[in-house]
Amino acid sequence: MNKFNVELSDDAQTDFFEYINHIIEVYKEPITAAKHYSAFIKELMKLEYTADIYQIQNRDDFHNFGTNVRRVNFKKMAIIYTIHGDMVLIRHIVAASTITGI
C-alpha cells in the first residue's frame, strides 16, 4: 500500500477557508465549521493511503484542473487532486453541484 504526501495548493487553501468562513459568516455556525474542518483533515489523512484508488476524471468539466485529475467527495464539496509520484496535490475544493454530469 502506497503512502502519499498530501499537499494543498494555494487555490485549494483559499477554497477551503472560504468554505469554512461561509459556514461561520452566513450560517452563524462556528461549531459546524469546526466539525467540517476536522472532517476535512480526516479526509486528507485518508487520501494518504487511498488517493490512487479513485478514478481519473476524463469529462470536460475537469480539463481546467489539469491532467490525470481525480476527485473525492467531501460533504457537498468535491476535492479535486492530482498525483505526482508519492505526492497528492489538492488543486481545488469546489461545490460538487458546480461540476455538471456528476
pLDDT in tens, 43-86: 999 999 999 999 999 988 888 888 899 999 999 999 999 999 99
pTM of the entire predicted model: 0.91
pLDDT the model gives residue 60 = 86
For residues 94 and 16, give the distance between their C-alpha atoms in angstroms, rounded to a whole number: 9
- What mean pLDDT is predicted for residues 13-41? 96
Neighbours of 48 (CB within 10 A): 14
Task: Please give the tally of structural domains in the chain.
Answer: 1
Residue 48: give the domain boundaries.
5-98
Q: Answer yes or no: are the C-beta atoms of 49 and 64 closer than 8 Å.
A: no
Report the CATH number that the domain containing residue 69 is assigned in CATH.
3.30.2310.20
Work out whether strand 70-74 and strand 77-84 pair parallel, antiparallel, or are unpaired. antiparallel
The contacts of residue 62 (CB under 8 Å, 6+ apart) are 69, 71, 80, 99
pLDDT the model gives residue 102 = 42
pLDDT the model gives residue 100 = 63
Cell 453541484 sits on residue = 97
